[in-house]
C-alpha cells in the first residue's frame, strides 16, 4: 500500500507517490485543471483508482510564512472536502511552506529553463510534501 501526495494549485496539481514500503517519495504526474474543486478532486481520484493501492493521501496546506491561513488554504479545504467524498482512506493536511521554492531552486541550480521547470515543478513540490510526511512518520514514536 502506498501514499499519494498532492500539491494543489489553481491550474496544476502535482502528484507524488511513495514506494511500496513507504520509504521514499517518487514524482508521479502533473494534472492540468480549470480551478473547479469538484472536477479537480475527480481527476485526482481517477489517478488513485488507476494506481489501485493508495491507502492514504497527504495534501499540501499552503500557509503563509508566518503560519497564518492563506486564501489558497480555503480552496484546498474545499478540494479536500470533495476528495473525501470519493476516497475512503485518510486525507491529511501537511504544511507545504517552501516546497515549491525548494523545488524551483533545485531546478534552477541544475540549469533547467523556466519552461522546463514548469513541467515538473508541481510534481517536485508534491515529492517534498511526501518526503516531509514520511520523515515525520519515521521519526515519531509509535
The pLDDT score that the predictor gives to residue 87 is 97
Query: How many whole angstroms separate alpha carbon 70 and alpha carbon 93?
Result: 14
Contact 86, 42 (CB under 8 A): yes
Contact 46, 15 (CB under 8 A): no
Say what percent of the chain tops pLDDT 70: 83
Domains and CATH numbers, the chain: 2-139 (3.30.420.140)
φ and ψ at residue 46, rounded to 5 degrees: -60, -40
Radius of gyration, CA atoms only, the chain: 14
Q: Is the pLDDT of residue 69 over 80?
A: yes
Predicted confidence (pLDDT) per residue in 12-45, tens digit: 999 999 988 778 999 999 999 987 889 999 999 9
Q: Is the pLDDT of residue 46 over 70?
A: yes
Nearest CA to 28 out of 125, 138, 112 is that of 125
Amino acid at each position: 500500500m502506498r501514499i499519494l501526495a498532492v500539491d494543489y494549485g489553481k491550474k496544476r496539481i502535482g502528484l507524488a507517490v511513495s514506494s511500496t514500503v513507504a520509504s521514499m517519495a517518487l514524482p508521479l504526474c502533473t494534472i492540468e485543471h480549470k480551478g473547479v474543486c469538484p472536477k479537480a478532486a475527480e481527476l485526482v481520484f481517477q489517478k488513485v483508482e488507476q494506481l489501485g493501492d493508495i491507502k492514504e493521501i497527504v495534501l499540501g496546506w499552503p500557509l503563509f510564512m508566518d503560519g497564518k491561513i492563506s486564501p489558497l488554504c480555503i480552496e484546498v479545504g474545499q478540494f479536500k472536502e470533495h476528495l473525501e467524498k470519493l476516497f475512503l482512506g485518510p486525507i491529511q493536511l501537511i504544511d507545504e511552506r517552501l516546497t515549491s521554492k525548494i523545488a524551483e531552486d533545485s531546478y534552477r541550480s541544475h540549469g533547467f529553463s523556466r519552461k522546463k521547470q514548469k513541467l515538473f515543478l508541481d510534481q517536485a513540490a508534491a515529492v517534498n510534501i511526501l518526503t516531509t510526511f514520511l520523515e515525520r512518520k519515521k521519526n515519531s514514536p509509535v
